[in-house]
Structure 1
Amino acid sequence: MAKKVAIVTDSTAYIPEEWIKKYHVKIAPAVVIWDGEELRDLFDILPNDFFKRLSSSSTMPTTSQPSPAAVKACYEELVGEGYDILGIYVSSKLSGTLASAEQAKSMMPNANIMHLDTLAVSMGAGWAIMMAGEAALAGKSLAECHATASEAIKHVGVYITPDTLEFLHRGGRIGGAQRFLGTALSLKPLLYLHEGRLEPLERVRTRKKALARLAELVVEQIKGKSPVYVAAIHANAAEEAQELLNLVTSAVPANQTLITFVSPAVGTHTGPGTVGIAFMAGYGGK
């Protein structure tokens, strides 16, 4: 009989609280560094407080990946409870989190641990966590849960429109969208995750047009597929996230939807006002 499987992820996934409980997920927090203070993402600082402070702060935060020690602490607790461990992490092309996890794993040679680089962020990784969690609840082995998450991530897409590219540029996460810098401030960029990096799609003239066009691009990707799971993600822009979700789901019915903040560690790099869609479409269906 296979040992029970627990999932470890990092705070940038920012999955719903009920999933954390249901799937027995442990969170290794990224670190937000602000005015010399180290704050554990989602533990010491939450999105509401973070974005309020960011909007009025004269200093800007930076981030650091979870330390190997922080990941190891999660692993040790779960091994002590008799679990095999599946680590599902933010894209290795955006963060060094997976490297920290690999170091933690190397310090625990007797533990049964597998890792997955989602090449995604936020609920892009979250949907893979959900599917792996369901497999674990069904009694699947560690290898089977890993295979489930690996397949799920092939059906995931993440599309965003930041209010400005300033934060992505400052944090070094701008990728190919570098070529959008220096254009008129009124132009709103549309970006997507491609092979683990943020890449440019288009620029449009107004925020309203950006939301409409982003919805169109997402619908193009998910139309005709089922099942469909859609999360609207936002950096202190809940009303626009709801509007974006409505635009998508009015065109393509979804099996499950949710709206969630991006975590402070992600918000440090996207900046306030960012909205987007993270979807999973066609996994286990057509």
Structure 2
Amino acid sequence: MNTKILADSASDLSKDHYNEYDIEMVPLTVHLNEKEYKDVIDINPKTVYDAMREGKGTKTSQVSPETFKAIFTSYAQENQPLVYVAFSSELSGTYQTAKLMETEVKDEFPDAPLHVIDSKCASIGYGLVVLHVAKLAKNGASTDEIIEAATYQAEHMEHIFTVDDLEYLLRGGRVSKTAAFVGTLLKIKPILHVENGKLVPLEKVRGSKKLFPRMLEIMQDRGTDFQNQTIGISHGDDVERAEQLAEMIKEKFNPKEVVIEMVGSVIGAHAGPGTIALFFLNKPNK
């Protein structure tokens, strides 16, 4: 019996990915116009970005304990191995909730092969980790091999990204007030990264023309073995700039593959429209 892979909607994978690699997805919740929507299922990112451009507030909430308990119980009853690779615990309470429900279900089914992993990753960086282990699972890898691979990929996944307006991250509590440096009037563009699962400002670039070249310099400094890995790019409703960055990467590094996806509703509700994010491994793939 092959191990089943569970991910949540903050992985920003497409429905085609879920279907092709038999990945189960659990949605986080998006709050907009005083209504609740299940991410991916009831709302799409474009709707969220358009609302944010109009000045409307958006919020998100984690997966409910009841949802996790129902999923975990169904797999435990069938004794089906399940590995849930979770959105970074530093950006959402979803991982902690899943761990609590894993413990509850194992009280009833002590031998249930359920495993919950904190990816410490977000968006397509997280999605690339999920895709990697989903391919292993589909090819019959053992649960231990899948856990080892997910842990390695997550540990070595770099996130380099820029946002049009740090105010969105500030409102959502994703960066501190001191970290949300002001640069709009000076045409300063922030570059951020993820450190131990947290969003951390890295540096400031004056002028948008210098932004992508600088991101590629950081990629060259931190990354390795690009020809044998899949590079991820996600964007906040700005596919033109995402494709521009992809072409620059292909020309400079000749990667095995570049995956481009829109930043989903949950992360987009905090990062805002115009976000461009780049993901790659800083060590060779095992």
Q: Say whether the fold is shared (TM-score over 0.5).
A: yes
Distance (Å, rounded) in 2 between the aligned partners of 1:180 and 1:32:
24
Unaligned segments of structure 1, at least 5 residues = none
Q: Which moved more, 1:245-254 or 1:206-215?
A: 206-215
1:44 aligns to what SS in structure 2? coil
Q: 1:31 to 1:114 in 2, by over 3 A?
A: same
Q: Which residue of 1 aligns with 2:58?
A: 61
CA distance in 2, matches of 1:117, 1:60: 28
> After superposition, what is the alpha-carbon deviation per residue over 1:120-167, rounded to whole angstroms, capped at 9, x for unaligned?
101111111122112212212222211111112233111110001000
Give distance in 2, aligned partners of 1:78 and 1:24.
15
Q: Partners in 2 of 1:225 and 1:254 — Cα distance?
A: 5
Give the stretch that moved more between structures: 16-25 or 130-139. Answer: 16-25
Residue aligning to 1:235: 236
Shift in Å, 1:255: 0.9
Cα distance in structure 1, aligned partners of 2:193 and 2:137: 30
Per the alignment, residue 30 of structure 1 pairs with 28
Q: Partner amino acid for 2:241?
A: E
Q: Give percent identity, aligned residues only.
A: 26
- Work out whether residues 225 and 281 of structure 1, in 8 Å CA contact, stay in contact via their aligned partners in 2: no
Aligned partners of 2:7 and 2:26 also within 8 Å? yes
Partner of residue 87, structure 1: 84
Question: Does 260-269 or 219-228 show the bigger shift?
Answer: 219-228
**Residue 98 of structure 1 corresponds to which residue in structure 2?**
95
Distance in 2 of aligned mates of 1:73 and 1:283: 37
Q: SS where residue 105 of structure 2 aligns?
A: coil
- Aligned residue number for residue 198 of structure 2: 197
The SS at the match of 2:31 is strand
Query: 2: distance between equivalents of 1:116 and 1:283?
Result: 21
Against the structure 1 CA distance between its residues 283 and 20, is the aligned structure 2 distance closer, same or farther, given a 3 Å change threshold?
Answer: farther
**TM-score, structure 2 normalization:** 0.91
Take 2:39 and 2:194, find their aligned partners in 1: how far apart are those partners?
22
Q: 1:194 deviation in Å? A: 1.1
| Preserved contact between residue 86 and residue 113 of structure 1 (Cα < 8 Å) | yes
Structure 1 vs Structure 2 CA RMSD = 1.9
Q: Which digits, 9 at most, give the CA deviation of each residue in 1:31-72, with x for residues without a partner?
A: 11123211111111111222122212x430111111111223
What is the rounded CA distance, in whole Å, between the counterparts of 2:121 and 2:115 in structure 1? 18
Aligned length: 281
- State the match for 2:216 in structure 1: 215
- Mapped partners of 1:256, 1:72: distance in 2: 36
Q: Distance in 1 between matches of 2:5 and 2:158?
A: 21
Aligned counterpart, 2:269: 268
Q: What is the letter of the counterpart of residue 221 of structure 1?
A: R
For the Cα contact (< 8 Å) 2:190–2:205, is it kept in 1?
Answer: yes
Call closer, same or farther: CA 1:261–1:188 in 2, change over 3 Å.
same
Aligned AA for 1:85?
A: L
Moved more, 222-231 or 4-13: 222-231
User: Is contact 1:226-1:283 (8 Å) kept?
Assistant: no
Quote how far apart the aligned CAs of 1:170 are: 0.5
Q: How does 1:158-177 map to 2 (within 5 A)?
A: 158-175=159-176
The aligned counterpart of 2:16 is: 18
Q: How does 1:250-261 map to 2 (within 5 A)?
A: 250-261=251-262
Alignment pair present for 1:181 and 2:185: no
Separation in structure 2 between the aligned mates of residue 204 and residue 281 of structure 1, nearest angstrom: 23
Partner of 1:279 in structure 2? 280
CA distance in 2, matches of 1:166, 1:266: 14
* Distance in 2 of aligned mates of 1:196 and 1:65: 16
Q: Which residue of 1 aligns with 2:4?
A: 6
